[in-house]
Amino acid sequence: RVVYVNGRYVPYRDASVHVEDRGFQFADGVYEVCEVRNGRIIDESRHLARMRRSLKELSISFPMADAALRLVMGETLRRNRVRNGLVYLQVTRGAAKREFTFPDPDAVAPTLVVIARSVDPAIGEAVAQAGIRIVSVPENRWARVDIKTIGLLPNVLAKMAAKTAGAREAWFVDRDGFVTEGGSSNAWIIVGDALVTRHAEHGILRGVTRTTLLDLIAIEGLRFEERQFTIDEAKTAREAFVTSATTILTPVVQIDDTPVGDGKPGDIVLRLRQRFHDIAEWRSL
Ligand code: PMP
């Protein structure tokens, strides 16, 4: 296995960045994860556009043009013979003597790391067919979760709490009882015949999978409500599910101690999951 680090493809076990990298010291960086399926990178354009936005919001310079980055992503996947799995991109502000304020961007270049990994799609499919359990946790993150930063400690702790409780994902719930999103996914419910998810302007990451699912919902002429919902409403919803690049659409069958619907994966979410890749953008490796 090889990974791309700052202009070079290096063996996985030898790959490293500087101890004074600002990603390491301050979580001063951003990341993206794209799904790879049947030798295709899914929704790459939207992921790159979001990374560009995250970097802009943090005044980190873009390490290379999109076209060059696409080449590096493709090459990293090919060199690792990944046909199904994911490609992870991380950009930090770079390595500099530890100081809170930014180093001179003319003197310090951002650090770019690209890692490709094979994942058997049968695993995610089995999880989706079984459905996942959710635990609710208090929202304790900063107000800029719209930026996809590598500062993920609250998410790590939330997902660890979920795992300890035998659940696969945690949903953050704000002080008013409204669900914001998952530890690494967006949260959805189906009420009556309407798909419901929170507006992306506040309190969540604008998921690429969420955006592409909105395209599918429009194509299918399904009812959609962009609004916040409480954890109590979610527990009485007809169906619930999560979206992310690595889980696509995955049904939720239990929230805390309450089964969702009949406690089995919902028909609507499973059908939309099957349709998702028919409409998502892709590029062949
Ligand atoms: N919210 C959070 C907090 C996430 O970490 C993720 C996954 N990166 C998502 C939502 C889903 O985003 P996407 O569909 O782009 O993977």
The two beta strands, 194-197 and 223-226, are parallel
Closest atom of ligand 1 to 208 CA is 15
For 237, the domain range is 124-284
- The pLDDT value given to residue 202: 84
Average pLDDT of the segment spanning 92-113? 97
Judgement on whether residues 89 and 142 belong to the same structural domain of the protein:
no
Report which protein residue has its CA nearest ligand 1's atom 2: 184
pLDDT band for position 27 (cuts 50, 70, 90)? very high
- How far apart CA 56 and CA 50 sit, in angstroms, is 10
Q: Which of 74, 104, 119 lies at the terminal end of a domain, its last residue?
A: 119
Q: Which of 69, 84, 119 lies at the terminal end of a domain, its last residue?
A: 119
Closest atom of ligand 1 to 186 CA is 10
| DSSP-assigned letter for residue 148 | -
CATH number, residue 246 = 3.20.10.10
176-210: burial string, b at 16+ Cβ within 10 Å, e else: eebbbbbbbbbbbbbbeeebbbbebeebbbebbbb
Complex ipTM, two decimals?
0.99
Pocket probe mutation, ligand 1, options 31, 186, 199, 209, max atoms within 8 Å of Cβ: 186
Q: Which of 119, 138, 156 lies at the terminal end of a domain, its last residue?
A: 119
Pocket probe mutation, ligand 1, options 185, 211, 214, max atoms within 8 Å of Cβ: 185
Known catalytic membership, residue 148 = yes
Average pLDDT of the segment spanning 2-16? 97
What does the pLDDT look like over 215-226, one tens digit per residue?
A: 999 999 999 999
CATH number, residue 38 = 3.30.470.10
> Which residues have C-beta within 8 Å of that of residue 106, sequence separation ≥ 6?
none
Judgement on whether residues 91 and 209 belong to the same structural domain of the protein:
no
pLDDT band for position 32 (cuts 50, 70, 90)? very high
Judgement on whether residues 163 and 232 belong to the same structural domain of the protein:
yes
Judgement on whether residues 110 and 78 belong to the same structural domain of the protein:
yes
Classify 128 as helix, strand or coil: helix
What does the pLDDT look like over 199-217, one tens digit per residue?
A: 999 899 999 999 999 999 9
Report the predicted TM-score, pTM, of the whole model to 2 decimal places.
0.98
What does the pLDDT look like over 235-265, one tens digit per residue?
A: 999 999 999 999 999 999 999 999 999 999 9
Judgement on whether residues 196 and 69 belong to the same structural domain of the protein:
no
Q: Which amino acids bring their CB within 6 angstroms of ligand 1?
A: 33, 181, 184-186, 205, 207-210, 243-245
What does the mean pLDDT of the chain come to? 98
